[in-house]
Amino acid sequence: MLKRTIELRTQVGKLLDAGLFGLAFWLAHLVRSNLDTVYSLDSAAIPPFSGHFWLYAFILPATPIVLEVQGFYLHSGGVSIMRRLWQALKSCLILSVGAMALVFIFKEQNNIGRSVIVIFGFFGFGALAVKELILHFWGKGKFGRNVVRHRYLLIGSPGDTGRLKSDFERHIGQDVEQVHELDVNAAPASEIVRVLHEHFINGVVLCAAHTYFGQVEQVIQVCELEGVEAWLVADFFKTQVSRTTVDDLFGRPVLVFRSAPDSTWQMMAKQVVDFVGAGALLFVLAIPLLIVALVVKLTSAGPVLFRQARSGLNGRPFTMYKFRSMVSNAEQLKHELAAMNEMSGPVFKVTNDPRVTPVGKFLRKTSLDEFPQLFNVIKGEMSLVGPRPLPVDETKRFDDIAHRRRLSVKPGLTCLWQISGRNEVKSFDDWVRLDLEYIDNWTIWLDIKILCQTIPVVLLRKGAK
Residue-wise pLDDT for 53-103, tens only, equals 788 888 899 999 999 888 888 765 556 788 888 999 999 999 999 888 887
* φ/ψ of residue 348, rounded to 5: -110, 120
The CA distance from 373 to 319, in Å, is 10
Q: Domains, the chain, ranges and CATH?
A: 3-143 (no CATH), 149-238 (3.40.50.280), 265-459 (no CATH)
The CA distance from 283 to 342, in Å, is 37
Of 77-81, 114-118, 343-347, 421-425, the range with the highest mean pLDDT is 114-118
Is the model more confident about 182 or about 427? 182
For 210-269, give the DSSP string: GGGHHHHHHHHHHHHHHT-EEEE---SS--SSPEEEEEEETTEEEEEEESS--SSHHHHH
Q: What are the C-alpha distances in Å from 44 to residues 26, 36, 206, 280?
A: 17, 9, 67, 51
- pLDDT (0 to 100) of residue 43: 47
Contacts of 195 (CB under 8 A, 6+ apart): 153, 180, 182, 201
- pLDDT (0 to 100) of residue 142: 60
| Pairing assessment for the beta strands 317-323 and 305-311 based on DSSP bridges | antiparallel
The CA distance from 318 to 309, in Å, is 5
pLDDT per position as a tens digit, 225-240: 888 888 888 776 667 7
